[in-house]
Chain A
């Protein structure tokens, strides 16, 4: 068996004239946790639905665990554990009842089914609510039930559509740990629009915008794209000269530029240091300051992070393309307006002509009268 668990080739999906997905290709290897990142409506869910054989792509194809989504959808479905967006479950069922149903559907019976359910319940810590109706569960627990049903058949591939949305930070971190733990043995694709999420959980990130793949990198590579980190230094203003402090800081190797912000705010000196490369300068900065008998009140290293990359990649020319792709309805309205204009114009001309004619008639009768 090859190491490539998911292989998507030139996936496109058309909804009417709209490209929900355009020529998306990627590969996911065994043991990888892949983050699918993009704004709402970018095509994340569409891609996942294609991989799980819920919808078919308009063109292109994909293989999951070696099985083609067109040729052998049953094998694809068997290889995948899927958690759709917003975790749809049969809410009138008990948790255990539901998991038993899922195990049965996956073809497990008796002792085997019981063992698998037990394992999934342990992995997702559902033990306390197993005899409860799903509708009575909180969002976090429902999410776990959703994960448990995706784990019952121990699939080599997990596809999770926004597994973290709507959870409070504690719940989210629990689910995150769970996904990490699962991801160590399996291939996981998860979609999100939360950047922090990706940085913490994923080995690789695909960024998708307007149906196109715009980036395929590790979180670190993406951050490098975003630019280097900056350092924010706060010095005690008492007995320190701003100009001199600036010179001292400028003397540190690897510093590219220094900016002073809000000079002497509350008796403090605030500097922003931009380094030449990505290496960590905090030690050098600290030691230099101490050596020069300055008092440091604060030192912070901040990178612009994925936020900026995300914005740059996904919003690039949204406005322009939005203007270019007028909807059909807009076009119709425009056409109707044009027509009305033309009609009004024609009517006006008719009226004028009629007025002219009537006036010339009057002239004629006048002439007659005179005659």
Chain B
């Protein structure tokens, strides 16, 4: 376990050694702030629901930028060889990398808290849905980061990893948007695998086991695939 944390810590710090963390977090806060506050006063309600919706949308574009380099860059520069030939398992490497980027994402979420405090100072904010909303963002983001890490493990090109992650994530976002045009047999299935349908109830303040389980499953499966992909280099 201490290896996992060492890798996670290095990964987390490496984001701040370069410009990536500042760029991504800065841009996200800027865009999120603009979208949220622009319409906030039109509704005139002390709620963060809209912010959570915008944040979940921004995640589709912002999080692939955080994950694209995780494995791909190490493969390109060859540092993966030094990392793996230390006494660690592939599983520890994947888990460490994931926790490192998840930590950065958590920091990003924390930095949106001032928005919540602002809203609560303007009106009577119900903190229940705020917590469930943040929990939902953490789950949705966690699943996206899993997809991103998986894609990053397939290639040594960051750009490929970025767009592959974006493509797959957008698919899971769009999959329930055209249900009326779908044959009736598949609508239930498409709804069940849609990111948005699971996020929606969390956004409204309902924490249901099935939604939590869904996002955790996506993260788990993608991490397992990433592990296999990293391990497969031994036999290729």
Which residues of A are at the interface with B, using a C-beta cutoff of 8 A? 15, 49, 52-56, 74, 77-78, 80, 82, 84-86, 88-93, 101-102, 104-107, 149
Contacts and interface: CB of A to CB of B under 8 A. Distances in A.
B86 A92 contact: no
B82 interface: yes
B234 interface: yes
B234 A56 contact: yes
Given A54-B234, A56-B234, A84 B78 contact: yes
B6 A104 contact: yes
Contacts of A104: 2, 6
Nearest to B81: A84
A105 B88 CA distance: 8
Interface in B66-103: 77-82, 84-89
B234 A55 contact: yes
B79 A93 contact: no
Contacts of B17: 92-93
Interface of B: 2-3, 6-7, 10, 14, 17-18, 77-82, 84-89, 233-236
A15 B82 CA distance: 22
Contact of B85 (A80, A92, A93, A107): A80
A46 to B, nearest CB: 12
Given A56-B234, A105-B3, A82 B85 contact: yes
B6 A77 contact: no
Nearest to A82: B85
A56 B233 CA distance: 9
B85 A53 contact: yes
Nearest to B79: A88
A88 B88 contact: no
Nearest to A102: B86
Contacts of B14: 90, 92-93
Contacts of A106: 86-87
Contacts of B18: 92
22 contacts: A52-B85, A53-B85, A53-B234, A54-B234, A55-B236, A74-B89, A82-B81, A82-B85, A84-B82, A88-B81, A89-B82, A90-B79, A91-B77, A92-B14, A92-B17, A92-B18, A93-B14, A93-B17, A104-B2, A104-B6, A106-B86, A106-B87
A55 B84 CA distance: 10
A90 B10 contact: yes
A104 B7 CA distance: 10
Contacts of B236: 15, 55
Contact of A86 (B2, B78, B84, B233): B78
Nearest to A101: B10
Contacts of A149: 82
A80 B82 CA distance: 11
A54 B81 contact: yes
Contacts of B85: 52-54, 77, 80, 82, 84
Given A104-B2, A105-B86, A149-B82, 20 more contacts: A52-B85, A54-B81, A54-B85, A55-B233, A55-B236, A56-B234, A74-B87, A82-B85, A84-B82, A84-B85, A88-B78, A90-B10, A92-B14, A92-B17, A92-B18, A93-B10, A102-B86, A105-B6, A106-B87, A107-B87
Contacts of A54: 81, 84-85, 233-234
